[in-house]
Structure 1
Amino acid sequence: MLIVEAVLETPEAAGFSLWPVAGLPPYTFAPVSARMPPPEVGGALAMLADYNARAGDGDDPPADAEALLRALLDTDRILAPGGLRFHDTATGVTVVPGCCCGLEDWREWLEVTAGGSLWLGHDPSPRIEHHGAAVHLWPDGAGAPGPPGGPPLEIPLAGLPAILRGVQDDLRGFLTVARQWTAHRFPALAEPLAAALDEGLAVSAPLPGA
């Protein structure tokens, strides 16, 4: 069975105190969906707000919770470290996004259905190759001269549109719980923040060909 999840990199929670966040290990990947409990929603928003504030002008992020979220609203293009995580329960192969890969680019997988490829980050550097009616995906080895060691994870091209629809559903769920979380703490920001995340993560637009 192939499990595909939209994931965000977990924050360094020990250094964040503006609102409650889940005590997940930092710099790993956590799935986003409607099933997230409030501390995980808070952790995802903390990572997004802090990361984009630091990526903007290089200054330290605002020390006030509401100001930090407002800064995320003002971001020209939301960057979301993460991407899609693939796991094959039969072989045990898991492929996670590499460094500098972003969940905001998840729609680039549509290019794969048309015979194209995409960059999946580095350290690790997932490798993707077309093989007939499927693509093979390895956890690392992009750019290596020879084939990677170990079995690849196989994705039937015919099943990729349904996979992406599932990803979109999970992202819609994340928007719902993010709106609820924000409405509980900063009511005036709930709708603007949900709209900014919707646009930044390219959630609601129809999926061409999917």
Structure 2
Amino acid sequence: MIVIDAALETYAAYDFAPWPVADPPADGVLLLSGGLSSREVGTAMAVWVGYNSDPDPGDPLAADGEALVRRTVEGEGTIAPGGLYVRDTATGALVRSGCCCGLETWREWLDLADGAELWLGHDPSPWAETLGPALRLWPDGRDAARPAGGPPVDLTVAELPKLLEDVRSKLGGFLELVGRWAERYAPSLAGDLVDKLDEDWSISAPLRE
């Protein structure tokens, strides 16, 4: 079975103090869904504000969680390090977005269903190969600097929209948790925070207009 998850890189959450966070996963990646704990949501929010606000340790706002959230919410379009993880549960094959790919661009995967090419980051450099009605996703090797580095994930073009709808559902569940989390740690900004993430990460809008 093919499973696609929305993945957030958590390296920016190390040594974060303004609110409780979970211990970063061993692989540095947090899969977002409605099943996260409050501390895991705190980790995701620490990554988000850290990546977009870049608080300096000497900044008076660095220890003020609500002020950090406000500064991020009031900023321009925000980004999030990560992307989509595609797994074949039968073979164990995994394709993950590479460096400099952002979770906020996850809907661009729909372009594959229309026959377009898709940039999925580098180091590793995953890439997608269209084979008629099928898609073959390679975990590395797009830049020909090194071999693929692992088995590909095979799926069909027809099933991709349904898989991406599942991603949207998981992100929707995560967004609900963010609202609850904000009511505790940034209560005056709870609604604005949810609206900002929803807009910048393109969560609630239908996949196809």
TM-score by length of 2: 0.92
**Contact 1:13–1:26 at 8 Å: present in 2 too?**
no
Cα deviations by residue, 1:35-86 (Å, 9 ceiling, x for unpaired): 11100000000000011012xxx86663111111011101211111111101
**Contact 1:52–1:79 at 8 Å: present in 2 too?**
yes
**Secondary structure of the residue that 1:30 maps to in structure 2?**
strand
Give how far 1:150 is off.
Answer: 4.5
**Contact 1:11–1:44 at 8 Å: present in 2 too?**
no
Match of 1:80 in 2: 80
Listed as ranges, the gaps of 5+ residues in structure 1 are none
Match of 1:38 in 2: 38
**Contact 1:6–1:83 at 8 Å: present in 2 too?**
yes
Match of 2:4 in 1: 4
Query: Which residues in structure 2 correspond to 1:119-198 (within 5 Å)?
Result: 119-144=119-144, 148=148, 150-198=150-198
**Contact 1:22–1:43 at 8 Å: present in 2 too?**
yes
Give how far 1:25 is off.
Answer: 3.7
**Secondary structure of the residue that 2:70 maps to in structure 1?**
helix
Match of 2:67 in 1: 67
Q: Distance in 1 between matches of 2:11 and 2:146?
A: 35
Q: Distance in 1 between matches of 2:187 and 2:31?
A: 25
Give how far 1:144 is off.
Answer: 1.6
Q: Distance in 1 between matches of 2:161 and 2:13?
A: 35
Q: Distance in 1 between matches of 2:132 and 2:146?
A: 19
Count of residues in correspondence between the two structures: 206
Q: Distance in 1 between matches of 2:150 and 2:14?
A: 36
| CA spacing shift, 1:27–1:11, aligned 2, 3 Å | farther
Match of 2:112 in 1: 112
Give how far 1:146 is off.
Answer: 9.2
Give how far 1:118 is off.
Answer: 0.6
Q: Percent identity?
A: 46
TM-score by length of 1: 0.91
Q: Distance in 2 between matches of 1:192 and 1:16?
A: 22
**Contact 1:127–1:142 at 8 Å: present in 2 too?**
yes
**Contact 2:139–2:150 at 8 Å: present in 1 too?**
no
Q: Aligned AA for 2:208?
A: P
Is 1:101 the equivalent of 2:101? yes
Q: Distance in 2 between matches of 1:185 and 1:151?
A: 43
Q: Distance in 1 between matches of 2:151 and 2:75?
A: 41
Give how far 1:11 is off.
Answer: 3.3
Q: Aligned AA for 2:6?
A: A
**Secondary structure of the residue that 2:22 maps to in structure 1?**
coil
Give how far 1:159 is off.
Answer: 0.4
**Contact 1:13–1:22 at 8 Å: present in 2 too?**
no
| CA spacing shift, 1:179–1:45, aligned 2, 3 Å | same
Give how far 1:207 is off.
Answer: 1.0
